[in-house]
């Protein structure tokens, strides 16, 4: 039996999480280096519907665990079933998205199997000399990076941030579905989801998955000026973030807070408007691809991490940006 | 209700600096605080106790000085405190930490609920809560915003990426708590005085009957292989000028980088 790399193919309401495609794309590179076969594992009512998409991003095998009880993520059912599957096939590596689901599921499985788990990785590599997965993650608010290995335990497991790897489909997808037996009879129903409340607010594009984020800080000056941030976000199709100072002041809900005590985000472009760049804020956004800072104080620490710094008054620059972006669209 | 809260003492990241030569944290003189999310876990536990009666036990694993964090928790209203401290526990990763804490909770007896912070701000792993829950064979709801008792089960509001979910969970259960749940109450003068004098139970390796291969460094599957400074940005640009110039320059630069 060839050795394998598994990607947990997280689905919510029948839709694969974006990070799954990113993990498969990265997984292909790891597969080439290691010689391990790239596989996906999907738990749902009927995994058949996900297979083509998973092949398309490079899965050579898709383990489907099909059960009505898998229609939504339930930690007990999911963790036990995956742990059993891991025991049966003993993959070398298992990757999960660092989503709210992945970050509950993976540590439960790691505890069950006594294997290592590295949280919230932003880089993955494979050491061909010793078979170690090199799992790199920011620590202490992104001030340092740490590479973690689990040399003596298998599988090596990691949760990986969204939006750090590119989604790259393969040219000639092909793969095989392995239908796995599921037996949940022995697992008591200790928890169940009784209601789902979506934030219908059109402004709450999921910060964790957003490609673009526009964030506002105390430099906005007044709560009503968040409108500028929303308008710029609308122009870019961006999610709206905020510093804690604005959340504490009641200008915007906690839902939007980025940083150590808020959300950790990793968009392609992060635009900080009137944010000073305190270490706790940087902790949540420092690994964004391109950081843009708009601040009138040239010595604001946000400029240390910014790729593009605009020194100026946001009340003048942001409306101008909105106007020019809108004009470019025609 | 018998409730446990796991709290971690962490360096106040406001004050932490990095030695750029060695890539180590300059920790000397850095004050320690209770992990901010654990304050929310504690408050949630205190509110349940105030409503339904019972006790709140705070548990921390760490060096002897972590006792400070436990005393602070007592001053805020916790009833009892247990410190897990032993050289053999040192170097524990989240697996070994979860295992060790779970042994202590078992030894303390049957709890109705165990609370954790969403994550610790020094490591940001968010793994210890689900880990301990697994060892205790309890269901766990992560990212809990509110927890109430309804008959023989808990009703929980859980924060997700795109809103909320309501869950029903059988007792006993474990929860990790988000910031927006609440704000920790003030310390009362009476509690503060009592906390100073309170006897804090300290348990070491021998007290827990742990397996030496499962605690501390030797029980930890993960190893830090290297620590390094994040790559320096090479392509930095500063834009000044009139607002219109700045806006058009920004759009141009984003296009050059293929991100617009
Ligand atoms: C334990 C702990 C956890 C924390 N967690 C978080 C967290 O998760 N997220 C977070 O964000 N913070 C967090 N903080 C708070 C953090 O330390 C800062 O206080 C906060 O980020 C500051 O927010 P701000 O940048 O909006 O405000 P300020 O620091 O007041 O900065 C405002 C900035 O706006 C600029 N400005 C003002 N007017 C204009 C204008 N007209 N045009 C352009 N620029 C202008 C100013 O030059 C200044 O740089 C935490 C703190 C602690 C102690
Ligand atoms: N050493 C520790 N002692 C007590 N509780 C801990 C310890 N480490 C972690 N925890 C608890 O587990 C939560 C998650 O921590 P972490 O997995 O390290 O992010 C924290 O918010 C604490 O509630």
List chain A residues with CB under 8 Å of B160: 100
- Residue A193 included in any domain: no
**pLDDT at residue B22 in the model:** 66
Write out the two tokens for B240. Answer: 């000044």
| Statement to judge: residues A64 and A103 lie in one domain | yes
List chain A residues with CB under 8 Å of B259: 268-269, 289-290
| Statement to judge: residues A168 and A63 lie in one domain | yes
**pLDDT at residue A1 in the model:** 63
| Statement to judge: residues A167 and A277 lie in one domain | no
**pLDDT at residue A283 in the model:** 82
Q: Do B139 and A75 touch (CB under 8 A)?
A: yes
- Mean pLDDT along residues B69-87: 97
| Statement to judge: residues A167 and A292 lie in one domain | no
Find where tokens 């021998």 sit.
B206
**pLDDT at residue A255 in the model:** 83
Ordered domains of chain B (ranges, CATH) = 2-219 (3.40.50.620)
Strand segments, DSSP code E, in chain A are 4-8, 11-12, 15-16, 37-44, 61-66, 93-97, 117-121, 123-127, 132-139, 144-149, 156-160, 176-180, 191-198, 212-216, 239-242, 269-273, 290-295, 308-311
- Mean pLDDT along residues A282-307: 93
Instruction: Name which residue sits closest to atom 4 of ligand 2, judged by CA.
Output: B60
Q: Which atom of ligand 1 is nearest to the CA of B36?
A: 1
- Residue A189 included in any domain: no
Tell me the CA–centroid distance for residue A243 and ligand 1, in Å: 6
- Residue A58 included in any domain: yes
pLDDT above 60 (res A202): no
| Statement to judge: residues A214 and A320 lie in one domain | yes
- Residue A192 included in any domain: no
Domain membership of residue A305 as a residue range: 202-329
Q: Do A312 and B260 touch (CB under 8 A)?
A: no
Find where tokens 């829950």 sit.
B133
**Is the CB of residue A4 less than 8 Å from the CB of residue A89?**
yes
| Statement to judge: residues A26 and A169 lie in one domain | yes
CA distance A230 to B109: 51
**pLDDT at residue A25 in the model:** 97
CA distance B129 to B141: 9
| Statement to judge: residues A144 and A214 lie in one domain | no
- Residue A93 included in any domain: yes
| Statement to judge: residues A89 and A147 lie in one domain | yes
B21 touching A, CB under 8 A?
no
Residue spans of alpha helices (H) in B54-93: 67-76
- Mean pLDDT along residues A186-190: 94
- pLDDT by residue (tens digit) across A302-311? 999 999 999 9
Q: What percent of chain A has pLDDT over 90?
A: 82
CATH of the domain at A77: 3.40.50.620
Q: Which atom of ligand 2 is nearest to the CA of B119?
A: 19
CA distance A322 to B14: 35
Q: Do A107 and B127 touch (CB under 8 A)?
A: yes
Band of pLDDT at residue B247, cut at 50, 70 and 90:
very high
- Quickly list DSSP for A30-72: HHHHH-PEEEEEEEES-THHHHHHHHHTT-SEEEEEE-GGGSS
Tell me the CA–centroid distance for residue A278 and ligand 1, in Å: 6
- Mean pLDDT along residues A241-250: 95
Q: Measured from the CB, is residue A315 less than 6 Å from ligand 1?
A: yes
Q: Which atom of ligand 2 is nearest to the CA of B5?
A: 23
Q: Measured from the CB, is residue B119 less than 6 Å from ligand 2?
A: yes
**pLDDT at residue B12 in the model:** 83
The better pLDDT of the pair B11, B127 is held by B127
| Partners of residue A152 on adjacent β-strands | none
Q: Do B141 and A191 touch (CB under 8 A)?
A: yes
Find, in chain B, the residue whose alpha carbon is nearest to that of A17: B161
pLDDT above 70 (res B210): yes
B58 touching A, CB under 8 A?
no
List chain B residues with CB under 8 Å of A150: 221-223
| Statement to judge: residues A235 and A304 lie in one domain | yes
- Mean pLDDT along residues A180-205: 84
CA distance A46 to B207: 49
| Statement to judge: residues A250 and A159 lie in one domain | no
pLDDT above 60 (res A201): no
- Of the candidates A140, A289, A316, the beta carbon closest to that of B243 is on A316
- Residue A191 included in any domain: no
CA distance B179 to B192: 24
CATH of the domain at A261: 3.40.50.1220
- pLDDT by residue (tens digit) across B186-204? 999 999 999 999 999 999 9
- Of the candidates A260, A308, A325, the beta carbon closest to that of B237 is on A308
Q: Do A321 and B139 touch (CB under 8 A)?
A: no
**pLDDT at residue B24 in the model:** 67
- pLDDT by residue (tens digit) across B116-168? 999 998 888 999 999 999 999 999 999 999 999 999 999 999 998 878 999 99
| Statement to judge: residues A75 and A161 lie in one domain | yes
Q: Do B250 and A308 touch (CB under 8 A)?
A: yes
- Residue A169 included in any domain: yes
Tell me the CA–centroid distance for residue B72 and ligand 1, in Å: 27
**pLDDT at residue B23 in the model:** 64
Q: What percent of chain A has pLDDT over 70?
A: 97
How many domains is chain A partitioned into structurally? Answer: 2
- pLDDT by residue (tens digit) across A109-140? 999 999 999 999 999 999 999 999 999 998 87
Residue from B10, B11, B35 whose mutation best tests the ligand 2 pocket (most atoms within 8 A of CB): B35
- Residue A194 included in any domain: no
Q: Measured from the CB, is residue B83 less than 6 Å from ligand 2?
A: no
Domain boundary among the residues A116, A147, A180 is at A180
Q: Do A144 and B228 touch (CB under 8 A)?
A: yes
**pLDDT at residue A139 in the model:** 80
- pLDDT by residue (tens digit) across A22-54? 999 999 999 999 999 999 999 999 999 999 999
Average pLDDT, chain B: 93
| Statement to judge: residues A115 and A75 lie in one domain | yes
Average pLDDT, chain A: 93
């Amino acid at each position: 039996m060839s050795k394998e790399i598994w990607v947990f193919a997280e689905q919510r309401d029948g839709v694969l999480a974006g990070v799954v495609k990113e993990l498969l794309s990265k997984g292909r590179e790891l597969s080439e280096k290691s010689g391990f076969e790239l596989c996906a594992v999907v738990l749902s009512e009927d995994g058949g519907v996900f297979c083509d998409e998973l092949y398309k991003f490079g899965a050579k095998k898709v383990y489907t665990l099909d059960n009505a009880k898998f229609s939504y993520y339930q930690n007990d059912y999911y963790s036990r079933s995956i742990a059993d599957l891991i025991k049966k096939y003993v993959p070398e590596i298992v990757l999960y998205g660092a989503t709210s689901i992945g970050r509950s599921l993976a540590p439960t499985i790691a505890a069950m199997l006594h294997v290592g788990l590295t949280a919230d990785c932003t880089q993955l590599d494979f050491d061909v000399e010793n078979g170690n997965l090199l799992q790199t993650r920011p620590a202490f608010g992104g001030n340092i990076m740490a590479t973690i290995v689990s040399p003596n335990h298998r599988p090596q497991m990691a949760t990986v941030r969204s939006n750090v790897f590119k989604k790259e489909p393969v040219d000639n997808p092909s793969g095989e579905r392995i239908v796995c037996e599921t037996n949940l009879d022995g697992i008591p129903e200790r928890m169940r989801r009784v209601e789902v409340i979506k934030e219908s607010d059109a402004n709450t594009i999921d910060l964790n998955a957003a490609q673009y984020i526009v964030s506002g800080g105390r430099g906005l000056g007044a709560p009503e000026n968040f409108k500028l941030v929303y308008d710029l976000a609308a122009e870019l199709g961006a999610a709206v973030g905020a510093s804690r100072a604005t959340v504490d002041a009641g200008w915007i809900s906690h839902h939007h807070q980025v940083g150590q005590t808020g959300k950790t985000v990793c968009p392609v472009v992060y635009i900080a408007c009137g944010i000073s760049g305190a270490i706790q804020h940087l902790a949540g956004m420092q690994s964004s691809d391109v950081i843009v800072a708009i601040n009138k104080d040239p010595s604001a620490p946000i400029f240390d991490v910014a790729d593009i710094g605009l020194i100026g008054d946001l009340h003048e620059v942001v409306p101008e940006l909105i106007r020019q972006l809108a004009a470019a669209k025609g | 209700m018998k409730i446990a809260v796991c709290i971690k003492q962490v360096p106040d990241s406001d004050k932490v600096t990095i030695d750029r030569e060695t890539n180590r944290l300059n920790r000397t003189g850095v004050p320690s605080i209770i992990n901010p999310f654990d304050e929310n876990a504690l408050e949630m536990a205190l509110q349940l106790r105030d409503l339904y009666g019972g006790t709140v036990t705070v548990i921390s694993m760490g060096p002897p000085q972590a006792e400070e964090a436990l005393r602070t928790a007592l001053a805020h209203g916790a009833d009892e405190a247990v410190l897990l401290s032993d050289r053999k526990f040192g170097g524990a990763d989240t697996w070994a930490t979860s295992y060790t804490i779970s042994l202590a909770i078992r030894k303390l007896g049957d709890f109705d609920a165990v609370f954790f912070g969403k994550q610790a701000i020094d490591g940001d792993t968010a793994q210890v809560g689900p880990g301990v829950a697994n060892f205790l064979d309890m269901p766990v709801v992560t990212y809990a915003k509110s927890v109430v008792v309804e008959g023989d089960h808990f009703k929980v509001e859980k924060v997700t990426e795109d809103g909320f979910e309501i869950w029903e969970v059988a007792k006993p259960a474990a929860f990790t708590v988000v910031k927006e749940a609440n704000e920790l109450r003030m310390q009362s003068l009476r509690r503060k005085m009592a906390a100073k004098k309170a006897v804090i139970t300290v348990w070491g390796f021998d007290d827990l009957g742990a397996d030496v291969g499962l605690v501390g460094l030797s029980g930890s599957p993960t190893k830090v292989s290297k620590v390094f400074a994040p790559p320096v940005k090479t392509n930095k640009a500063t834009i000044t000028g009139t607002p219109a110039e700045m806006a058009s320059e920004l759009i141009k630069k984003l296009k050059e980088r293929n991100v617009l």
